[in-house]
Amino acid sequence: MSTLSLARAPAGRRAFGGRQALIEKLTGIGFATPAIILLLLIDLVPLGVLGVLSFTDYELGGTDAKYVGLANFSKAMADPVFRRSMWNTLLYVAIVLPGSVGLGLLVAILVHGRKRTRSFYEMVYFLPVTATLIAMATVWQFLLHPKLGPVNAFLRLIGAGEYAFLSEPSLALPTLAVIGMWQLIGFNMVLFLAGLSSIPKDLYEAAEIDGCANGIDRFLTITWPLLGPMTMFVIVTTSITAFKIFDTVAVMTRGGPMGSSEVLLYAIYLEGFQYFHTAYAAALTVIFLAFILAFAVIQAFVLDRRVHY
């Protein structure tokens, strides 16, 4: 069928071309229209509205709003809650990022060398990625309970004392960070495994002949340089995910104790959807977006480099 049609094609192409181009134009626009409408309604128009709101004093339910310039942004700079949230969010990223990237890489390298047990480890480490974090957060809360939780029961058993992981201000954020790592290590491991399998085997054999006998040498001369682009990519995606921390805070600590686990998205949520300080929340969202876009620019840059590798 298709051979016949192809044979016919060249003869009629010229006359066909103009009409075909028109059909293509119309169907192209037609096919893209639903997506364009949704893109406008869900992303572009709200983005514009958000920008405008951040320069006003609008509050949900209020009838009028006036232009206040940068007042919301200078308010944010002076707001202790916002400053603390920003600091805590960055601190959270600073803990989760090296932890989940480093451990993800280490686990990937060790799992990559296994043959029979590889799929078992892959499955176990990936399991937290699919689990509903809110449900698991409730379980973590129980695990870490000062009196009833098995973690403290174990610590008492070995004589290490008792820790109120979630109600001690200095421990709350690091504890949430450990849970964040628990969920991210498997994800990063899989990305690193993909990177590792793309490294040609004969490179290692060549290195062995050249005298790179032990594992650390091989890692430093081959694995690490060739894994570089993937590592950059994992660092950026992990930063974005960690920067968006919200779920565990909302369920386990609600920003407490004493504001020690207040984070940016939780602050935006409270201001925008609990206190209805809409304009102020819009300004905070603009700041949030600025960070996300900064990460995205780095990511685009990294992806671009990956293509040329």
Binding residues among 63-102 for other proteins as defined by CB under 8 A: none
Number of residues that bind other proteins (CB under 8 A): 107
Our finding on whether 305 is near other proteins (CB under 8 A) is no
Give the span between the Cα atoms of 81 and 266, in whole angstroms. Answer: 11
Output the CA angle 53-56-60, nearest 5 degrees.
65
User: By CB under 8 A, what part of segment 215-274 binds other proteins?
Assistant: 230, 233-234, 237, 244, 246-247, 250-251, 265, 268-269, 272-273
Q: How far is the CB of 191 from other proteins (least distance, A)?
A: 4
Q: Specify whether the CB–CB gap between 56 and 68 falls below 8 A.
A: yes
Give the span between the Cα atoms of 292 and 301, in whole angstroms. Answer: 14
User: By CB under 8 A, what part of segment 182-221 binds other proteins?
Assistant: 182, 185-187, 190-191, 194, 205, 208-209
Using the rule CB under 8 A, which residue among 70, 123, 160, 258 binds other proteins? 123
- Cβ proximity to other proteins: between 87 and 246 the closer is 246
Q: How far is the CB of 120 from other proteins (least distance, A)?
A: 8
The residues facing 301 across adjacent strands are none
Residue 144 tokens read as 């870490």
Our finding on whether 291 is near other proteins (CB under 8 A) is no
Of 23-31, 89-97, 218-226, 255-263, which segment contacts other proteins by CB under 8 A? 23-31
- Cβ proximity to other proteins: between 60 and 94 the closer is 60
Phi, psi at 47, each rounded to 5°: -65, -45
Give the span between the Cα atoms of 44 and 48, in whole angstroms. Answer: 6
What's the DSSP call for residue 249? I
The residues facing 67 across adjacent strands are 56
Quick one: how far is CA 142 from the chain centroid? 26
What's the DSSP call for residue 214? S
Using the rule CB under 8 A, which residue among 122, 173, 184, 239 binds other proteins? 122
- Cβ proximity to other proteins: between 238 and 260 the closer is 238
Of 67-75, 86-94, 149-157, 168-176, which segment contacts other proteins by CB under 8 A? 149-157
Output the CA angle 110-115-118, nearest 5 degrees.
60
Our finding on whether 165 is near other proteins (CB under 8 A) is no
